[in-house]
A and B are shown apart, each in its own frame.
Chain A
Amino acid sequence: MLLRGIVSAPLPSTLSLKASARPSQNASLSFSISDQELESRGFSLRRSISDLNLDHLNSVFVAVGFPKRDTEKIRVALENTESVQWVEYRKTQRPVAFARATGDGVFNAIIWDVVVDPSFQGIGLGKAVMERLLEELLGKGITTIALYSEPRVLGFYRPLGFVADPDGIRGMVYSRKRNKKF
């Protein structure tokens, strides 16, 4: 999961998730920015992919530096994704923030494709989608929530409660270059 170019400058908030205490699963997490506040600024929080224009989403991916991916493949990926959170900018009706999580629905989840349109970074939208995605996963009783973070944005995930290499566990990726057979 790659998050490029995000500069996190969260707005002051009295209701932030504390990294130190693990909230109980049944407690509803307080969000840094409430739904109403986001709505009042012209942003809508969305969970369903039915109204999500995948070409617009793809352009956000490209804008943050992802390689361009086939829209139909993105559709397949989203149809097989357990949870999705995105923010629509009502004025343009385009997605400006996005995050999704795959998994087995009971034990494990991995968060992918966390992006914020560069023109909308720094105002808390990335945090907004992440917090709500986490709430949804925790609500299902999923206790193992993981992701892969570029080194530059470790500081974005830490205040949300993420720890890198806990207990020496390493994230690993299969590399075809290393294995000439495949």
Chain B
Amino acid sequence: MQTHSALLSTSQYPIFSFGCNCEGSNLSLFPCNLNFGVGRARRNLKVCQTRASFWESIRSGFLKNNTTQVIEPPSTNQGEEEPLPEEFVLVEKTLADGTIEQIIFSSGGDVDVYDLQALCDKVGWPRRPLSKLSAALKNSYMVATLHSLRKSPGEDDEYTWRSYLTEGNEQKKLIGMARATSDHAFNATIWDVLVDPSYQGQGLGKALVEKTIRALLQRDIGNITLFADSQVVEFYRNLGFEPDPEGIKGMFWHPRY
């Protein structure tokens, strides 16, 4: 499959390079260095008291001299039984220039197909026709997204990266997506997990998949599956996936290598 070579040639960051060949593999992931790649400004991050285990792994992705507020969706200690809100803030940080950046998770599936194509370009995936992308999204049982929302402190912002303005001084940008197909009753399969290279290495891919799983489980889908490139098998193992359970093998019809 074209996966690895495409990523190696286009990736500029020696970090997680989420991306997959849409011909069949699910995800390619390389060992990460911490490199936010979002501006040179020193950010102040403060790690909040959060739940252990999963959120530990998110927190460890942030530099210690920064402050980031990791925001849990409202939940009690039996958080797992609380219904996951469709949209919530995953992470919030204050940048050096006073801009507040929020990373917003949504399982509502509201994706601009042009934004998605731009994101696919950024991770180096081969181009797919927009009409097909649109149809694939529409026919997916769940489309989960990560958006970055930047709020300038009062000033008009003239930034023109792929974003749309909301309320005058806000900018929202698609930075991650995962989708799942399903029969709505028994099985779901996760495809196309991707995170903007500028936002990799922060645990956002992990959060994206983890929240997608949780949303699927809450819809009572008992069998959640995916196909993983060899380099990302460990990534998914850490999220609770098992390769070849009971020797059951994933098979593809005439795969194009």
By a beta-carbon cutoff of 8 Å, the part of chain A in contact with chain B is 2, 19, 22, 69, 73-74, 76-81, 100, 102-108, 110, 112, 134, 143-151, 154, 157, 160-176, 178-179, 181-182
Which residues, 213 to 231 on B, are CB-close (under 8 Å) to A?
Answer: 213-214, 217, 223-230
* Alpha-carbon separation in the docked complex, A67 to B251 (Å): 23
Neighbour of A170 across the interface among B181, B213, B243, B255, CB < 8 A: B243
* Alpha-carbon separation in the docked complex, A76 to B128 (Å): 31
Q: Give 1 or 0 for each of B34-56: 1 = CB within 8 Å of chain A CB.
A: 00000000000000000001100
> Do the beta carbons of A77 and B132 come within 8 Å of each other?
no
Q: B residues within 8 A CB of A163?
A: 251-255
Contact A169 B229, CB 8 Å, known A80-B185, A175-B245:
yes
- A152: min CB distance to chain B, Å: 9
Shortest 10 CB-CB contacts between residues of A and residues of B: A171-B250, A168-B230, A179-B240, A77-B185, A174-B224, A166-B255, A172-B241, A162-B251, A22-B254, A145-B253
Q: B residues within 8 A CB of A134?
A: 253
**Chain B residues with a Cβ closer than 8 Å to the other chain, count:** 61
Choose the segment among B57-65, B104-112, B135-143, B196-204 that binds chain A (4+ C-beta atoms closer than 8 Å).
B135-143
Main secondary structure of the interface of A (DSSP, over half): mixed
Choose the segment among B23-31, B85-93, B162-170 that binds chain A (4+ C-beta atoms closer than 8 Å).
B23-31
- A70: min CB distance to chain B, Å: 9
> Do the beta carbons of A76 and B184 come within 8 Å of each other?
yes
Q: B residues within 8 A CB of A2?
A: 248
Q: B residues within 8 A CB of A81?
A: 183
> Do the beta carbons of A173 and B185 come within 8 Å of each other?
no
> Do the beta carbons of B248 and A150 come within 8 Å of each other?
yes
Q: B residues within 8 A CB of A172?
A: 225-228, 233, 236-237, 241-243, 250
Q: B residues within 8 A CB of A182?
A: 80, 213-214, 217, 240
* Alpha-carbon separation in the docked complex, A68 to B142 (Å): 27
Is residue B244 contacting chain A, with contact meaning CB distance below 8 A?
yes
> Do the beta carbons of A73 and B181 come within 8 Å of each other?
no
Neighbour of A146 across the interface among B135, B140, B141, B253, CB < 8 A: B253
Q: List 7 A-B contacts (CB under 8 A).
A: A80-B182, A105-B135, A107-B191, A165-B251, A169-B250, A170-B233, A179-B239
